């Protein structure tokens, strides 16, 4: 399951997963984007949101202790290593700039060329029929008319059932 969310005036990507089974079908990804016209969040809020420690989700019926390791963990991906002007960023999980998200679904077997492909009738290539998602964050550059900077892609793989 993948969540697409917005209206938070920041962008980022995260996942809820079992660290011992990274390709498990219960892994949930989240892509966060902002309305392109909304102003970014103040810097002190971005510092607070970026400084979050990993959160562990307790089993049903158990008291929440976010720092005690469990089999379910919430992580934000560190995809914003450099700012739009090339300077390194201290906070890499979320970016507080105007942005939009460009997504494309694809079959990994078809994209990898002839590896694992079967040529069917009419010369069309057929893959495994499993779709993955690639998402790029397009973040506004410096100034009101700055060129957008691409961050990504964030790859959301098709996950294996029961693994």
Q: Are 133 and 158 in contact (CB under 8 A)?
A: no
* Top-confidence residue, 118 or 79: 79
H or E segment and range at residue 15: strand 11-17
H or E segment and range at residue 4: strand 2-5
- Domain regions of the chain by residue span: 2-156
Q: What is the pLDDT of residues 80-127, one digit of tens each?
A: 999 999 999 998 999 988 889 999 988 888 777 645 544 444 445 556
Q: How does DSSP assign 84-130, residue by residue? A: TTS-B-S--SEE-S-EEEEEEEE-HHHHTTTTT-EE-GGG-EE--S-
């Amino acid at each position: 399951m993948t969540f697409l969310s917005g209206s938070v005036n920041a962008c980022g990507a995260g996942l809820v997963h079992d660290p011992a089974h990274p390709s498990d079908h219960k892994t949930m990804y989240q892509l966060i984007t902002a309305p392109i016209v909304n102003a970014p969040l103040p810097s002190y809020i971005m510092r607070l949101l970026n400084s979050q420690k990993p959160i562990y989700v307790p089993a049903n019926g158990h008291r929440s202790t976010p720092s005690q390791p469990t089999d379910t963990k919430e992580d934000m991906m560190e995809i914003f290593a450099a700012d739009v002007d090339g300077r390194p960023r201290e906070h890499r999980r979320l970016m507080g700039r105007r942005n939009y998200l460009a997504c494309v679904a694809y079959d990994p077997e078809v994209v990898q060329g002839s590896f694992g492909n079967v040529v069917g009738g009419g010369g069309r290539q057929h893959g495994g029929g499993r779709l993955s998602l690639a998402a790029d964050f397009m973040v506004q550059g410096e100034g009101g008319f700055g060129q957008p900077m691409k961050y990504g892609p964030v790859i959301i793989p098709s996950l294996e059932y029961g693994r």
